[in-house]
Amino acid sequence: MTVKIRVVKQYRVTLQFKEPAWDEQDGIPYEVYAVSKSEAIKYVRKKAYNDGHTIGRGRYSLKAVEI
């Protein structure tokens, strides 16, 4: 039996809008723990939606960096 060990890392995911407001020029940072960058981005996409940041705001991008 093979056991896979998943290593959890800490990521800083930045939510950037195509046309940001004056106080969102640097983006909205989130710090999360995840196994991969894609998993961190999925989690932040859901969290930003639930927080109301991405509803009706137009285009945005998410960038994950391991810290």
CA distance 5 to 23: 41
pLDDT score of 55: 86
Write the CB contacts of 60 (distance below 8 Å, at least 6 apart in sequence): 15, 16, 17, 18, 54
pLDDT score of 26: 92
pTM of the shown model: 0.84
pLDDT score of 29: 95
Instruction: Give pLDDT tens digits for 7-62.
Output: 999 999 999 999 888 888 999 999 999 999 999 999 999 999 999 988 888 899 99
CA distance 66 to 10: 6
